[in-house]
Amino acid sequence: MQIAMAIECLHHVIAKYKEKEPNVRLASVMCGDLNSRPDSHLCRLLTTGSLPADCPDWHSKESEAFEGMPLQHDLRLKSAYTDLPYTNYTTEFKGCLDYIFYSCDDLQLIQTVPIPAESELQAQVALPSLAFPSDHLALVADLGWRRDADASGPSRLQAKLGDLQVAPGRRRARKPRGRSRGGRGTVAGNT
């Protein structure tokens, strides 16, 4: 139910932006620790867009069971990572619980950062460790606009990034000329 509410919220945000700026190109990215394995009904709902009314999850807790609730969405989400053996690695549990889902109609996966080898994680027993400060591994994906998708207008991000220039070997970029709100007009981080 929580992921169904998150999807509904995402639909609401998309509709709001479309109403304000109908020509702006939008794409969805949903990521986080979903506490569900890749073969779960939650991941099935995200990737297939539907969950049947007779889903076994509706009866997983007797005191909260209910009947006849099919779920559907039209976001067409795809996972940036496939077949990850783990994103959570503790002494009690090893498995994939973290995800980056993106709208595959609008975005394409360029690359993902590989997760550490199990031998690296076992070197200090499990997570968290001195090398990895969380019990979850960071997932990182570079996504780009699909060239074959409807390009009726630039996204707000594309418009802002269009004039940025990145110097070779540096991670800072100059902001387009003009007034900026506070700061010195530099943008740091990955784009």
Please, are residues 97 and 136 in contact by the beta-carbon 8 Å criterion?
A: yes
Is 33 annotated as catalytic? Answer: yes
Task: Give me the catalytic one of 33, 57, 105, 135.
Answer: 33
What is the gyration radius of the CA atoms in the chain, in angstroms? 20
Residue 159 token pair: 């418009």
Query: What residues contact 52, with CB distance under 8 A and at least 6 apart?
Result: 70
Collapsed DSSP state (helix, strand, coil) of residue 53: coil
Query: Which residue's entry shows tokens 């049947």?
Result: 52
Please, are residues 139 and 112 in contact by the beta-carbon 8 Å criterion?
A: yes
Q: Please give the helix or strand (H or E) that residue 45 lies within, else none.
A: helix 41-48
Round to whole Å and give the CA distance between 20 and 109: 28
Q: What is the DSSP letter of 56?
A: G
DSSP for 57-120, written as a single string: GGGSSGGG------EE----EEESS-S-S-SEE-SS-EE--EEEEEETTTEEEEEEPPPPPHHH
Active site residues: 33
